[in-house]
């Protein structure tokens, strides 16, 4: 399939205006590059539902609370482009920081994300979701998609972006795709390439621990199960930021389960200096 690579915002804007006039349905897949099958799944889903799929690659500086993580974020640009040429993407948007933030990143707007900006990822990565909203609001304004494709892998981010769409009153449908995993259960992630061999061997324990939680789930206090699972990860070499079982709809932690509320387990843990996140819906039909 023919794909156009666009770097300048003004050129993207011209193309989108033209496509909108033609009545084309636009699907958007925002990424930070170092593409893997999880990203390509989102592009495939968009390609199946939309006439034009726009993929962006932009490593957004404002969503990194850890400078080291930003500087070490993997960059595989040539390989990304090769993969995209084989995909359903019609446009690859590759903006620079100045294209996205023409007046700099010094005094950016903030978004009222409520509870979502206080718990789990937000608690451990202060400012992260404000950064996500800052970049997403700009990209959505530029791409003007009908549908936005994101991965369940970043569960809280999906909830934040759903809220952002509401705050901005944008008529965009959020399409959440399941987490793609390696054969041993490790969730695919650009950051996995930073794991050393021994860390890579340990990494699937997150998945196995979530499965253990799923099989051990029963009504009543969830505390012993959470404690046991956290210890399991720590014994397996992880430094755990959080392991939480929460209401899948609100992300409120559930200490005492009534046996009915739909639950999600969410984990963030370090192997060395690489931080991995994952989640699993526990009892959602
Ligand atoms: P990133 O490049 O990490 O910002 O991710 C771009 C998009 O791909 C986000 O919507 C992610 O949730 C999604 N994504 C990342 N990893 C996976 C995966 N293993 N399975 C499905 N979607 C993913």
- Asked if residue 109 lies in contact with residue 134, where contact means CB atoms within 8 angstroms, the answer is yes
Q: Whose CA is nearest to atom 13 of ligand 1?
A: 151
Is 39 catalytic? The answer is yes
Whether the CB of 279 sits within 6 Å of ligand 1: no
Whether the CB of 153 sits within 6 Å of ligand 1: yes
- Asked if residue 191 lies in contact with residue 276, where contact means CB atoms within 8 angstroms, the answer is yes
Residue 167 tokens, joined:
């705050």
The SS3 call for residue 181 is strand
- Say what the pTM is: 0.97
Tell me the residue length of the chain.
285
The SS3 call for residue 265 is strand
- Cα 174 to ligand 1 centroid, rounded to whole Å: 14
**From CA 206, how far away is CA 188, in angstroms rounded?**
12
Taking each helix axis from N to C end, the angle separating 128-143 and 9-21, rounded to the nearest 10 degrees, works out to: 50
Whether the CB of 39 sits within 6 Å of ligand 1: yes
Whether the CB of 62 sits within 6 Å of ligand 1: no
Taking each helix axis from N to C end, the angle separating 155-167 and 128-143, rounded to the nearest 10 degrees, works out to: 60
pLDDT in tens, the chain (285 residues): 589 999 999 999 999 999 999 999 999 999 999 999 999 999 999 999 999 999 999 999 999 999 999 999 999 999 999 999 999 999 999 999 999 999 999 999 999 999 999 999 999 999 999 999 999 999 999 999 999 999 999 999 999 999 999 999 999 999 999 999 999 999 999 999 999 999 999 999 999 999 999 999 999 999 999 999 999 999 999 999 999 999 999 999 999 999 999 999 999 999 999 999 999 999 987
């Amino acid at each position: 399939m023919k794909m156009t690579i666009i770097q300048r915002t003004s050129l993207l804007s011209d193309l989108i205006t033209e496509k909108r006039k033609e009545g084309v349905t636009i699907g958007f897949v925002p990424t930070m590059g170092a593409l893997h099958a999880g990203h390509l799944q989102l592009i495939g889903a968009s390609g199946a539902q939309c006439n034009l799929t726009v993929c962006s690659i932009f490593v957004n500086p404002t969503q990194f609370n850890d400078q080291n993580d930003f500087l070490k974020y993997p960059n595989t640009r040539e390989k990304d482009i090769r993969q995209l040429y084989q995909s359903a993407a019609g446009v690859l948007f590759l903006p620079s920081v100045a294209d996205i933030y023409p007046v700099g990143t010094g005094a950016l707007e903030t978004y009222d994300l409520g509870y979502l900006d206080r718990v789990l990822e937000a608690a451990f990565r202060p400012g992260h979701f404000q950064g996500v909203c800052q970049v997403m609001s700009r990209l959505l304004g530029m791409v003007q998609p009908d549908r936005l494709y994101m991965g369940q892998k970043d569960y809280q981010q999906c909830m934040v972006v759903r809220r952002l769409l509401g705050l901005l009153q944008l008529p965009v449908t959020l399409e959440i795709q399941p987490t793609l995993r390696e054969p041993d259960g490790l969730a695919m992630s650009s950051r996995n390439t930073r794991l050393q061999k021994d860390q890579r061997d340990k990494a699937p324990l997150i998945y196995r621990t979530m499965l253990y939680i799923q099989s051990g789930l029963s009504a009543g206090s969830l505390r012993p199960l959470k404690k046991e699972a956290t210890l399991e990860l720590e014994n397996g070499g992880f430094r755990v930021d959080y392991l939480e079982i929460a209401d899948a709809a609100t992300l409120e932690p559930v200490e005492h389960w009534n046996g009915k509320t739909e639950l999600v387990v969410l984990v963030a843990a370090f192997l060395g200096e690489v931080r991995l996140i994952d989640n699993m819906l526990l009892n959602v039909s």
